[in-house]
Structure 1
Amino acid sequence: MSHDLITHGSKVTLHFSIILADGSAADSTKVHGKPAQFNIGDGSMTDTFEACLLGLKAGDSEKFTLPPEQAFGQPNPDNIYYLERNRFAADAPAEVGSIIAFAQPDGSELPGIIREVSGDSVTVDFNHPLCGQTVTFDVEIIAVEN
């Protein structure tokens, strides 16, 4: 097992859990048994998240808490849309709290959370579900390749 330290450009394989202020887990790679993998500096994680990993090595476990600005950001009012109810399919009705993936022009899908259903209008929030929240990352480094 290599003992490479995480530096800029390292390929990192890790398990992580995202823990909310109330102690509940919002997400965890351990649930699915599939660790995450990314390269430091490739833009898939925030700079602050990456900075917290620098200097760690395989086998290390670490916890760090990030404010919203350094985690998933603050909610952006421009990411809230009002759609007509008839745009929702019978198999995916508009129900408050449900998350529906909307197809984008480029073919990708963007998940939106339904916040309100009023008459024929449906309020859909495309902000990340963890926007505005202080979160704790509990990471376990599995492998580091430099």
Structure 2
Amino acid sequence: MSQGVIGENSEVIFHFSIKLSDGSAADSTKVHNKPAKLRMGDGSLTANFEKCLLGLSAGDSKSFELAPEDAFGQPNPDNIYYVDRSKFGVDTPAEVGNIIAFTQPDGTELPGLVRDVQGDSVTIDFNHPLAGQRLTFEVDIVEVTA
């Protein structure tokens, strides 16, 4: 196992847990014991998130809080859509709180949260469910390679 220190071009394997401001767990790689892997600077994390990892080594643990802009961003009003209720069926009922996968033109699926149902109009929110929230990240560095 490499004992390198995380630098600007390091490849990092790490476990992370995300906690909401009330302390409840939102996500963790430890649930399925599948750590995340990334190359620093590849754009998969925000600059401030990466800054929190710089200088850590394998075996290190760190907890830090990130503002919405440094985590999943602020909710974007352009990601709110109004869909006709007739598009929903028994398998995908238009009920507030349901998360429904919508197939995109390219064939990929995008999950949307039913926010509101008014008559024949269903409000679907495609923002990340953690958008707009201050989050605490707990990271455990497994391996660092230069």
User: The TM-score by the shorter chain falls in which range?
Assistant: over 0.9
Deviation at 1:90, TM superposition (A): 2.1
User: Counterpart amino acid of 1:115?
Assistant: R
> Secondary structure of 2:95's match?
coil
Q: Distance in 2 between matches of 1:115 and 1:76?
A: 14
Distance 1:50 1:81, change over 3 A: same
- Please give the per-residue CA displacement for 1:69-110, whole angstroms capped at 9, x wherever unaligned: 111111111110000111123212112111112111122221
Q: State the partner residue of 1:29.
A: 29
TM-score by length of 2: 0.95
> Secondary structure of 1:52's match?
helix
5+ unaligned residues in a row in structure 2: which ranges? none
Higher alpha-carbon deviation: 132-141 or 70-79: 70-79
TM-score by length of 1: 0.95
> Secondary structure of 1:12's match?
strand
Q: Distance in 2 between matches of 1:139 and 1:44?
A: 16
Q: Distance in 1 between matches of 2:42 and 2:108?
A: 20
Q: Distance in 1 between matches of 2:141 and 2:53?
A: 9
> Secondary structure of 2:30's match?
helix
Q: State the partner residue of 2:75.
A: 75
Q: State the partner residue of 2:130.
A: 130
Considering only aligned residues, what root-mean-square deviation do their CA atoms show, in Å? Answer: 1.1
Higher alpha-carbon deviation: 96-105 or 18-27: 96-105
Deviation at 1:126, TM superposition (A): 0.7
Question: Percent identity between the aligned chains?
Answer: 66
Q: State the partner residue of 2:121.
A: 121
Q: Distance in 2 between matches of 1:39 and 1:101?
A: 29
User: Counterpart amino acid of 2:135?
Assistant: V
> Secondary structure of 1:32's match?
coil
The answer on 1:97 being equivalent to 2:97 is yes
Q: State the partner residue of 2:10.
A: 10
- Please give the per-residue CA displacement for 1:108-128, whole angstroms capped at 9, x wherever unaligned: 221111101121111000111
Q: State the partner residue of 1:40.
A: 40
Deviation at 1:51, TM superposition (A): 1.2
